[in-house]
Structure 1
């Protein structure tokens, strides 16, 4: 079976799970994403376990039924087998396997057996797979999924339908696939659950092209043993692209996000992308109010690479004053937005994330942040102060202004701000607003970049190539002279093209202009007369 076949089969499995949810009244239910992602993950962990144990024991690999063969192990032999597993593989018991549940599906209280099995897997692997909250609590791998069915008489049938979807094919032959395969699967898996649903902390899915550009510009040389951080991680698209560019075995991921849903999706993304070793660093909590990652001195941790697509506007009035403290003076050096009398949901929160990122950057570190394009030209206030610091301390690597509608869910124009604490050379400003093709994405218009356009942006930035009406390379004094503007367009040369014409041609053009003006003036005079006539005819009744 080819990679494409597996991709098709995987998407069919996801669609099948969604179909079961719909049949039992959970289609578009708030808990549907938990059921889909957790059952998919149960299948994935089972098949990963099968793949790993067969690598360790040839008898299992050659057995007609490896599940039957492994169930015949003595307790000591089984324990020794588990000790040899890779650290990123869930340690399962024979009773945890899909085939075991499949064989028990006609027994009474199958829903309880199903839930107990998943919960037991979660408890046994808690140290590896649990996500922590900022308060220290652990969010385990699996919920009791049948309990999302309110009609208790349907729970057994629901769980039977689920387990029957998990047989028929195995992921075993695709564990040597690379990032792009799993990125496609992950995006398909969560496509209905990671959109702006209008909630206070709605998640936005960062387009793959934006994430790829950010990673390729930041990681332009080999590195080893580096730390990567996202203070508003969402489902992890930016972190996954960054880790892929560096090498999953050469970096450790850290993140924080206020959304429990996002943290669970990020955990799934880490498992799919061979980054299980970083799950312990995934924190669900308020980054701005209670940043979790600190060093042994209790100071905020510094990171080698930081990426972020933070929320732009958000009502944070309920904890705004808690941020405005003496302890936060250095972190929020440019200030904190005041609470408006009206439209609190329009409070600009992204400047706080930019300041937090600058404060959290290691010496010689790099960062890339998605910002509203208005940030790069604001003439006063917090935005201007942040830009001044980036220039005055020579931390600005450059800016790429993206095409409009690069995010289908929001009409806000965005730019990518690149920060580099090591490179003190010239700054690259790119206006990519004219690139891309507009397509229909549901009810919205979306701009999609071609692979060649992505490559053009990356190569232009990394090689610092100036190009008319597309990119400029400037120094810090140039930026100060332009009132700290980061907009490429303000640095483009205005070119006037001169065309040689004869005296006769000049006279003809001028006569033509005069003739047109005479006609327009005559029409204007007639129009004035008509208007006055109409006004004189108006009477008060």
Structure 2
């Protein structure tokens, strides 16, 4: 399976590079991911229709022109809209468009037909339960863009080339036990993020960080009723949570960027998450929250670091912020996201959020909010320091805050906060620092021991410390990790006698060398250089 996955990833990346020379990374990402998604929808449609038609001894391709075509098509459409959330006719399938485009080995003009098909996928959901989940999914796939080529023929030539290459790849969707395609899709998103610089943070959290967050919020659980990400990007964090438990009832997310919002919905569907099980919204989470009346069992997030927000005085009457008495500053929304997530967290839930280190010690309003969360609400469960240069587009060190509303599950756990300094545990790969499997395991194992009340085992020299709330208070609620985890390494004592002996030896060697040089100079009848 690993070999099949690697092969598929490489094939898709090679096809993506067909577009690379024509446009910038953001654009060719949208095109290649859009075309892969179209092929996925087509194959799922064909497989499902064939399953329905099996008792009639027909395939989906055979019903066009059949005497009962209208009846078959209507029945399949109704079933597909409920089961898949969309409908495609046999003539609209990816394989059919690719075949027509490459008819007889000569590229035929299919741009107009392709645009109609993509539009029809969205229109097929109108009035159905899946309308919101499929609406405008292909709006970033502009087939009229000059980025595809100067002339219509140039554009068509490139698109046909990409479709033909994709058509030759087996997505293996018949294998219901495998999610090779979903993994490959995730791989492509990661590849695009690695080359996107500062923009990468808008849509992707590195997999190793996603893994840490997912495991933190699922400690002690193998099933979740719901998981929520208020800044969900491409949905990678939500999907990562699903990998570490047996089942997730529903996925919820909100994303401000329309292009990334489309990518998230595609990613959900590509991982075979039924449209009835996810609810992703396209809006500004802080200004216009879309799931405000709901509470979630697990919350994960990697909000934009120190983003700006309005911090309008009107928010002082908002239930998310009113109890704190102060708002996060307009120049740094980090704690505003924390407050929002705390509000959405269920009483039995856990949230884990990645933030810049500044949230641990900055004063003023942020210091006030931090103190309220610890002293008045006692929600903070753990602080984990991550290595610098671990995120795409920024080299700053970051931390993870873990918060719970109910911290009485383990003996005296509600009287302590776990600090982990994982900042020196990583592997440097080219210009990026990466958490290795053993680094992730060490973080999670330490947190599990702490969560189980085994504080002695959770204390690791120069790595972790279980701090009492009294310690936190004595530090004036400053959470800067070096205050609690001493990572200072004493230098080995210097043997001065050995150093003196070595210096004496070097001096003797220099004196001998000087004598040799002086002799050579004398023989050459030149002045000695010293």
Match of 2:164 in 1: 164
Q: CA deviation at 1:54?
A: 4.4
Match of 2:388 in 1: 404
What is the rounded CA distance, in whole Å, between the counterparts of 2:292 and 2:360 in structure 1?
31
| Secondary structure, aligned partner of 2:232 | coil
Match of 2:455 in 1: none
Match of 1:352 in 2: 336
Instruction: Say if 2:130 and 2:276, in contact at 8 Å, map to a contact too.
Output: no
Instruction: Say if 1:395 and 1:423, in contact at 8 Å, map to a contact too.
Output: yes
Instruction: Determine if the alignment matches structure 1 residue 391 to structure 2 residue 390.
Output: no
CA RMSD of aligned residues (A): 3.5
Instruction: Determine if the alignment matches structure 1 residue 369 to structure 2 residue 353.
Output: yes
What is the rounded CA distance, in whole Å, between the counterparts of 1:257 and 1:413 in structure 2?
24
Cα distance change of structure 1 residues 49 and 494 upon mapping to structure 2, 3 Å threshold: closer
Compare 399-408 and 485-494 and name the one that shifted more.
485-494
Selected match of 2:75 from 65, 80, 83: 80
1:426-458, Cα deviation, whole Å (9 max, x unpaired)? 432111111011121xxxx22112212211110
Match of 2:508 in 1: none
Q: CA deviation at 1:288?
A: 1.0
Cα distance change of structure 1 residues 189 and 363 upon mapping to structure 2, 3 Å threshold: closer
Instruction: Determine if the alignment matches structure 1 residue 429 to structure 2 residue 428.
Output: no
What is the rounded CA distance, in whole Å, between the counterparts of 2:279 and 2:322 in structure 1?
22
Cα distance change of structure 1 residues 159 and 143 upon mapping to structure 2, 3 Å threshold: same
Q: CA deviation at 1:486?
A: 3.0
Cα distance change of structure 1 residues 10 and 191 upon mapping to structure 2, 3 Å threshold: closer
What is the rounded CA distance, in whole Å, between the counterparts of 1:96 and 1:226 in structure 2?
37
Instruction: Determine if the alignment matches structure 1 residue 257 to structure 2 residue 255.
Output: yes
| Secondary structure, aligned partner of 2:24 | coil
Instruction: Say if 2:328 and 2:334, in contact at 8 Å, map to a contact too.
Output: no
1:148-181, Cα deviation, whole Å (9 max, x unpaired)? 2363343433332233223223213465355686
Instruction: Determine if the alignment matches structure 1 residue 467 to structure 2 residue 460.
Output: yes
Instruction: Determine if the alignment matches structure 1 residue 417 to structure 2 residue 401.
Output: yes
| Secondary structure, aligned partner of 1:191 | helix
| Secondary structure, aligned partner of 1:269 | helix
Match of 2:523 in 1: none
Instruction: Determine if the alignment matches structure 1 residue 69 to structure 2 residue 62.
Output: yes
Instruction: Determine if the alignment matches structure 1 residue 381 to structure 2 residue 364.
Output: yes
Match of 2:118 in 1: 118
| Secondary structure, aligned partner of 2:157 | helix
Selected match of 2:321 from 320, 325, 330: 330
Instruction: Say if 2:390 and 2:433, in contact at 8 Å, map to a contact too.
Output: yes
Match of 1:218 in 2: 217
What is the rounded CA distance, in whole Å, between the counterparts of 1:231 and 1:494 in structure 2?
34
| Secondary structure, aligned partner of 2:425 | coil
Q: CA deviation at 1:313?
A: 2.4
Matched residues, number: 471
What is the rounded CA distance, in whole Å, between the counterparts of 1:89 and 1:269 in structure 2?
15
Q: CA deviation at 1:89?
A: 5.9
Selected match of 1:307 from 290, 297, 300: 300
Instruction: Determine if the alignment matches structure 1 residue 45 to structure 2 residue 28.
Output: no
Compare 219-228 and 453-462 and name the one that shifted more.
219-228
Instruction: Say if 1:206 and 1:237, in contact at 8 Å, map to a contact too.
Output: yes
Instruction: Say if 2:329 and 2:366, in contact at 8 Å, map to a contact too.
Output: no
Cα distance change of structure 1 residues 372 and 338 upon mapping to structure 2, 3 Å threshold: closer
What is the rounded CA distance, in whole Å, between the counterparts of 1:328 and 1:36 in structure 2?
42
5+ long unaligned stretches in structure 1 = 296-300, 340-346, 500-505, 513-541
What is the rounded CA distance, in whole Å, between the counterparts of 1:18 and 1:125 in structure 2?
32
| Secondary structure, aligned partner of 1:365 | strand
| Secondary structure, aligned partner of 1:104 | helix
Match of 2:283 in 1: 285
Compare 149-158 and 88-97 and name the one that shifted more.
149-158
1:328-365, Cα deviation, whole Å (9 max, x unpaired)? 673583533556xxxxxxx2121211111112222222
1:273-315, Cα deviation, whole Å (9 max, x unpaired)? 22232576211111111112244xxxxx322221111112234
Instruction: Say if 1:131 and 1:283, in contact at 8 Å, map to a contact too.
Output: no
| Secondary structure, aligned partner of 1:172 | coil
Instruction: Say if 1:129 and 1:276, in contact at 8 Å, map to a contact too.
Output: no
Instruction: Determine if the alignment matches structure 1 residue 438 to structure 2 residue 437.
Output: no
What is the rounded CA distance, in whole Å, between the counterparts of 1:355 and 1:376 in structure 2?
15
Q: TM-score, normalised by structure 2?
A: 0.78
Match of 2:526 in 1: none
Match of 1:484 in 2: 477
Match of 1:35 in 2: 31
Instruction: Say if 1:404 and 1:413, in contact at 8 Å, map to a contact too.
Output: yes
What is the rounded CA distance, in whole Å, between the counterparts of 1:414 and 1:113 in structure 2?
48
Match of 2:136 in 1: 139
Cα distance change of structure 1 residues 488 and 88 upon mapping to structure 2, 3 Å threshold: farther
Compare 48-57 and 467-476 and name the one that shifted more.
48-57
| Secondary structure, aligned partner of 2:390 | coil
What is the rounded CA distance, in whole Å, between the counterparts of 1:492 and 1:6 in structure 2?
41
Match of 1:188 in 2: 188
Q: CA deviation at 1:390?
A: 2.3
Q: How does 1:261-272 map to 2 (within 5 A)?
A: 261-272=259-270
Match of 1:447 in 2: 433
Q: CA deviation at 1:101?
A: 1.8
Q: CA deviation at 1:223?
A: 5.3
What is the rounded CA distance, in whole Å, between the counterparts of 1:257 and 1:68 in structure 2?
38
